[in-house]
Amino acid sequence: MEFTNLGRTGLKVSRLCLGTMNFGPYTSEEDSYALMDRALELEINFFDTANVYGHKRGEGITEQIIGRWLAQGGGRRDKIVLATKVYNAMGDGPNERGLSAYHIRKACEESLRRLQTDHIDLYQMHHVERSTPWEEIWQAMEQLVREGKVLYVGSSNFAGWHIAKAQAAAKARNFMGLVSEQSLYNLTERSIELEVIPAAEDYGLGVIPWSPLAGGFLAGALRKSEEGRRASDRMQERLEQHREQLVAYESLCDELGEEPANVALAWLLHNPGVTAPIIGPRTMAQLEGATRALDIELDEATLERLDEIFPGPGGPAPEAYAW
């Protein structure tokens, strides 16, 4: 396994991050344990979750599964960098969502209880909070850091200017502020190249791409569809809309002798601004297969062909659209 610093911090994380959204709704608790154990054997030390994962409002099913796995001991907690999130609704009350100091404190305590740990290594704001001032957000986060309940703070689904505002407010308080941004990023969705990645690089934030395979679209979806495997109506519609692109992409992967999913991950890993794509395996084969991406070298000619198949926005703004 390769390791890198999380943004400008001294914290070392694996180049692949284990996503746990499937734990509970789609992956049984027993299988989830097996996946986490295997991830440790593969030296994946970066685990990502969220308090809302599990499809049952307020229960934090996925966090509970991870907590029971950690409670088995064996040094599990000390071997991982544990990341979770705050923002989304955890109940029906008006203060059971968002980034008010009230909700941040309560949500953190509940996540710690479910995860059966005394601290969260990376506490991420799941979305932008437009109705709470940064002074309040940072005061709440500073208190959690001071109490040792949170070590680092990250964001998710922020625009570049949100990152800039957050960091300016943190600097005024002599607080470290954000150390990472978790964004939608893959070959089919490259809009963060305009402003989010440049902002993250300038402020020293690690970029953690979610949905690196575009919901399975980049994992050999066309091939699987032609082999008769089930696909949702939405996926079938998307396949038809982008069939020409997928034919070109999967043909390129065949030339390389690599699985489409691994090429998609390798492409992200070639971006110097990317810390670790989040892989969300439902099976052991998917987990073990993803590690192949670390060994794939994409030369300039291949990267250019990928750009031709899946064009990006043209680089960072404003040069991408102005001059």
Q: Which residues have a catalytic role annotated? A: 53
Residue 252 tokens, joined: 């390129």
Residues 6 or more apart from 153 whose CB is under 8 A from it? 122, 123, 124, 125, 141, 145, 176, 177, 178, 179
Nearest to 193 by CA among 268, 300, 303: 268
Closest CA to 182 of 212, 216, 161: 212
Measured between alpha carbons, how far is 177 from 284 in angstroms, rounded to an integer?
A: 36
**20: three-class secondary structure by DSSP:** coil
Can you tell me the distance from the alpha carbon of 290 to that of 267, in angstroms, rounded to the nearest whole number? Answer: 13
Residue 183, helix vs strand vs coil = strand
Are 44 and 16 within 8 A, CB to CB?
yes
